[in-house]
Amino acid sequence: MPVLDFDLKEVLIRPAAIFEFEEIRNLWSAFIKESFPEATPKPMWWWVQAEEKAISPNYCIFVPIIPDVGIVGFAESLIVANPTFGRIERFIGPGYIKPEFRKTGIHQKLWEIMIEDSKLRGVKTVTSTAYPNMESFWSEFGFILTNRNIEKDI
């Protein structure tokens, strides 16, 4: 991989604009191909779902942007009320950083911004899917493994 010449302080992380969704959809497809090659979702599946949720103030896709490069990743999130525990939670879905920008601190900065945004919105708990290969990353942020999603094809 080429040596990257950028300053992490210059990386802007902000909510994505609707006009950026197609670019993010392409990143989503790259994420699926890389992480779950056996899964082959139709490209429009995520696009339609995200576009429908985008009108909600509780849904947000955060994007890291490098000046003169553009969007280099994403992470989506949804704020919900959890009546079981009587608290507001933010679920942060899968995030993706382009391979050439990994291990640069961008992913960590992305999570720090999302956690800070969560605090500002009154969120008391942040959750995410516990992919086994990411447990050490989560522990660096103080996350603890509480449970895993289960599923059954029917």
Quote the number of domains for the chain.
Answer: 1
Residue 130 lies in a domain: yes
The answer as to whether 22 is a domain residue is yes
pLDDT, one tens digit per residue, over 36-64 is 766 655 656 666 676 777 777 888 999 99
Alpha carbon of residue 134 to chain centroid: 13
Residues 20 and 22: their CA atoms lie apart, in Å, by: 6
Report if pTM > 0.85: no
pLDDT recorded at residue 14: 94
List beta partners, residue 113. none
Q: Which domain covers residue 113, as residue numbers? A: 10-140
pLDDT, position 58: 86
Q: What is the CATH number of the domain that holds 32?
A: 3.40.630.30
Instruction: Give the integer Cα–Cα distance in Å for 84 and 29.
Output: 34
Asked if the structure places residue 152 within a domain, the reply is no
The radius of gyration computed from the CA coordinates of the chain, to the nearest angstrom, equals 16
- Is residue 16 a part of any domain in this protein? yes
Could you tell me which residue, 128 or 74, shows the higher pLDDT?
Answer: 74
Residue 81 belongs to a domain: yes
1, part of any domain: no
Instruction: For residue range 88-133, list pLDDT tens digits in order.
Output: 888 888 789 999 999 899 988 998 999 999 999 999 888 887 667 7
Of 73, 74, 72, 71, nearest in space to 50 by CA = 74
CA distance 30 to 96: 9
147 found inside a domain: no
